[in-house]
Structure 1
């Protein structure tokens, strides 16, 4: 683009210089032609009327002769100069239009380049904002997993001198298989107990983790990147829903399941595999 601009500028400069050179050249030749014509007229007169300077009548005749011969010539020269002046004005006007057209083209190209630069900058800013939000969500997801793991690992007294963890409860391990009904009752009891205290906290953290996973999946513009988080959230929701079935848990499982299916389809599509 820069090469085209320099070539156009050089052509414009040459076009601007050429009329000035032609104008000076034509004007000089016109003066020379008029001088030669005047010299020829004087030479013809003195060749035919040679001798002394003559009297007043001779000078009068000479004046009539010069005026009669030069007046038509000067009139023709005046018309020629007028035509030549109009031609020069037309050339200058044409040159001005060309320069104006070049200026408009340069302004248009500059405007397009500015628009492209602005779009690239806006896209870069949007990308940086998205990356910052994704990093923030990843940090929150990591913090939520730490809290969930802490709740799952906390010791819970389930009676008869037995202690277990919510990890064992949700995984239905052998130590709690015969006590699920009792544990569900303790979870729903109105009186506070360790099962209810830790279980309620775990329920809130699992739901929050699921919401964050869905948000991360939407912000990343690709469910594939969120598959590990979504799969982990779905497993936690299913286990907790088996222990305490809830409509909100089922809705979250449906939403996360749809995002997981979408991510797997995208991961196996030809464009993704490339």
Structure 2
């Protein structure tokens, strides 16, 4: 990937350290919310917090991508680089592939963060959510509803939704930042508009949110596969739409302003 050739090692290290610090704070905040005795309590705590909760997305992924990605785009799109390319949209392809790899990296760090935290703090990485020893049973006011959760909180199903939703949400942020860079040009504008646009939206519940608020996970999420599927399709659709808009505009982009 050509983008990595232009990435500053110092900037990369600082970004990773900052992101990991946000994850640690999020894990500790989740653990402080009550009983946390199994793996997914440290990945996505149903009371808030966890390595893959909304906090790492809003306070970690969002500012890092909004800051770093425009800088990478600037470095790549210097005159000497552009002159080597016959088709301008190849630049966008490069940015998008870089965004995919970055999204995969952030998702992997969130997953590993929860696994490591669970092992350190509980001595195991077991999933107890489907048992009466788990936090879901503890949190339910009406225990009669617990059987509804058992088939929905298997490790495979929980991991599938957490990984897919976090990866797609991160890629959606990155694709939108590329779009903002196209229309706003100045990095300072891109940074603050992205923070305001996505950061404020995160405070809304999934029903009223347009962006990151849809990544919130609570008890109801696990017994609503329809909502899970809707959120996945919603982010995929959003990525495709912004991707096509960027692709069209890159053909018209001028690099010598």
Which of the five TM-score ranges fits, normalised by the shorter chain?
under 0.3
Q: Identify which of structures 1 and 2 has the higher relative contact order when contacts are C-alpha pairs closer than 8 Å and 6+ apart.
A: 2
Bigger proportion of residues as helix: 1
Please give the TM-score of this superposition, normalised by the length of structure 2.
0.26
Please give the TM-score of this superposition, normalised by the length of structure 1.
0.25
